[in-house]
Amino acid sequence: MRIQTERGQRIIDTGVYGFVRHPMYLGASLWFVGGALLLGSVCGLLVALAEVLLLVLRIFGEERLLAWTPWLYTTPSSRTNLVWRL
């Protein structure tokens, strides 16, 4: 992961990003857990929870990277209405 300042990137905080910082990760998490529940698979649910944990770890890595760029990003609570990291 890296920030490409030469491209003029900025944090989007409107629309769905005003409520959830990572909507794709939230959707993937719901997909993983929902699929396992729909199939009634305990093993699938354990795998889904492991996948969600990996996504959360990635989110923390991304947040840490963005924290190094105070001109671009401050905190999730100051940029979104809700403090949902997923």
For residue 77, pLDDT over 60 is answered with no
Mean pLDDT of 48-72: 82
pLDDT computed for residue 76 by the predictor? 52
What percent of the chain is helix, strand and coil (3-state, nearest 5)?
65, 0, 35
pLDDT computed for residue 83 by the predictor? 45
pLDDT computed for residue 72 by the predictor? 59
The verdict on pTM exceeding 0.75 is: no
7-56-33 Cα angle (round to 5) = 120
Per-residue pLDDT reduced to its tens digit, 11-58? 777 888 777 778 888 899 999 999 999 999 999 999 999 999 999 898
pLDDT computed for residue 68 by the predictor? 74
